[in-house]
Amino acid sequence: MRQSESRAHTAQTSSPVVAPGMRDVTVLGIESSCDETAASVVRNGRDMMSSVVLSQIEVHQAFGGVVPEVASRAHTEMMTRVIEQALRDAKTTFSDLDAIAVTYGPGLVGALFVGVTTAKSLALATGLPLIGVHHLAGHMVASALSHGATPPYLVLIASGGHTDLINVLASGEMVRLGKTRDDAAGEAFDKVARAMRLGYPGGPAISEAAKRGDPTRYAFPIAKLPDGPFDFSFSGLKSAVMLVLDKEKRAGKESSIPDLAASFQEAVVQALCAKTEAALLQTGQRTLVLAGGVAANEALRLALRARCDALGVEFVVPPVALCTDNAAMIAAAGYDRYVRGLFDDLTLTGVATASIEAWYAAPATKQ
């Protein structure tokens, strides 16, 4: 079990947001939307008392990607153990908790069912309120855990499952400005890495190979989507890389994997930077928050920081353990719902595609 240091982020957080005199609110978060089985205890939406993340990467490595059935089986086997560990790390029992928060979507529906079903049992068995959390809302509040960031801000979420630009207003209301039309950024990394036989997951492998390569060797296209200025598309780029591999192979040439990796990565980074910069300019937001597993990519972080510096915009990136899927972010997002009195009933269920705007407006079971 990989565990982020239980209280490591506490020192950086701002003072508690609860009003003076109000008692502490402790939330158990549960996450199982993809291939991480995770549970965490967070106090007042900021103080991370424990965060347990059990990654299934090794199980899926043999298949070169996440196999939904394999993921669901692993979640079922490990979920109660992960929750027990999170409670133990936080020196907490169910009687110390105020609510159970769980990711209900979006994600792999069979995987989501495991977390949601578990959370509903805990809620029914203990009488604690149940809170369904939108996975992307979780990614957004990771910056609150690490930096005490509060809206308004613009968020770029780039992961194996998502590539989204979301404008978060001062009220906390969320508007999704852009999304990917096809592959998510992390998915493009995985697919290209597979084509280059670099293994899975593709992000770290490509980033490593790119360090030895020339990013200007190949000029790969950046998709222009006139009807969606903030939307992304990575499938054309992926095809372009595969075409080069194929062409060079047929010409009897051995492709330079470092050059290809560097050029591909450069194209992804430029696409993400260009759309993000345009969104910053249009919204006038003064803070950019980066979230999702692709935030671990150093080239992307450097490029976004440079753009933000040039624009005088504050750039916030939570540590990698909070950028990749975890349950602390779900508990923190659950706290925001708790404060607003937004709870779900026992009909809560896993939803493969769930709208962030609709979720902000009402609980998942009351839409």
Partner 1 sequence: MGERMVQLAMDTSTERLSVAIATEDGEVIGETTLAAARTHATYLHPVIEQLLSAVRCSFADVSGIAVGLGPGSYTGVRIAVSAAKAFAFARRIPVVGVSSLEASARQVKCRAGAVAAVFDARRNAAYTGLYRAGVEWQLLAPEARAAYSDTAVWIREHLLATDGLYIVGDGAHALARELEVLEFPCIVAQRAVSVVYARDVLDAAQPALHDARGWSEQEVIKRAHELVPRYLQVAQAETASHQVGGVGHG
The residues binding Zn ion (CB under 5 A) are: 159, 325
Render 145-201 in DSSP notation, one character per residue: HHH---SSEEEEEESSS-EEEEEE-TTS-EEEEEEBSSS-HHHHHHHHHHHTT--SS
Q: How far is the CB of 290 from Zn ion (least distance, A)?
A: 13
CA atoms of 337 and 98, how far apart (whole Å): 12
Q: Which of 81, 217, 286, 305 binds partner 1 (CB under 8 A)?
A: 81
Which tokens belong to 74? Answer: 């692993």
Q: Closer to partner 1 at the Cβ: 53 or 168?
A: 53
65 by DSSP, 3-state: which?
coil
173's contact among partner 1, Zn ion, none, with CB below 5 to 8 A by partner kind, is none
Asked if residue 160 binds partner 1 (CB under 8 A), the reply is yes
Q: How far is the CB of 302 from partner 1 (least distance, A)?
A: 19
Q: Are 305 and 288 in contact (CB under 8 A)?
A: no
Cβ–Cβ contacts within 10 Å for residue 61, how many? 12
Q: How far is the CB of 232 from partner 1 (least distance, A)?
A: 15
Q: How far is the CB of 207 from partner 1 (least distance, A)?
A: 13
CA distances from 361 to 323, 337, 340 (A): 25, 11, 11
Give the range of 109-117, 213-221, 242-250, 272-280 binding partner 1 by CB under 8 A.
Answer: 109-117
Q: Closer to partner 1 at the Cβ: 277 or 345?
A: 345
Asked if residue 328 binds partner 1 (CB under 8 A), the reply is no
Asked if residue 126 binds partner 1 (CB under 8 A), the reply is yes
Asked if residue 65 binds partner 1 (CB under 8 A), the reply is yes
267's contact among partner 1, Zn ion, none, with CB below 5 to 8 A by partner kind, is none
Which tokens belong to 56? Answer: 């299934």
Q: Which of 11, 19, 20, 125 binds partner 1 (CB under 8 A)?
A: 125
Inter-axis angle of helices 235-250 and 257-283, to 10 degrees?
160
Cβ–Cβ contacts within 10 Å for residue 69, how many? 10
Q: How far is the CB of 112 from partner 1 (least distance, A)?
A: 9
Asked if residue 186 binds partner 1 (CB under 8 A), the reply is yes
Give the range of 16-24, 78-86, 148-156, 164-172 binding partner 1 by CB under 8 A.
Answer: 78-86
Q: How far is CA 248 from the centre of its chain?
A: 36
Give the range of 5-13, 72-80, 146-154, 251-259 binding partner 1 by CB under 8 A.
Answer: 72-80
Asked if residue 272 binds partner 1 (CB under 8 A), the reply is no
Q: Are 348 and 113 in contact (CB under 8 A)?
A: no
CA atoms of 358 and 356, how far apart (whole Å): 6
Which residue, chain included where needed, has tokens 């069979």?
Answer: 110
Q: Closer to Zn ion at the Cβ: 159 or 265?
A: 159
Q: Are 149 and 143 in contact (CB under 8 A)?
A: yes
- Residues engaged in binding partner 1 (CB under 8 A): 34-35, 57, 63-73, 76-77, 79-81, 83-84, 94, 107-108, 110, 113-114, 116-122, 124-127, 158-162, 183-184, 186-187, 189-190, 200-203, 292-294, 323-325, 345-350
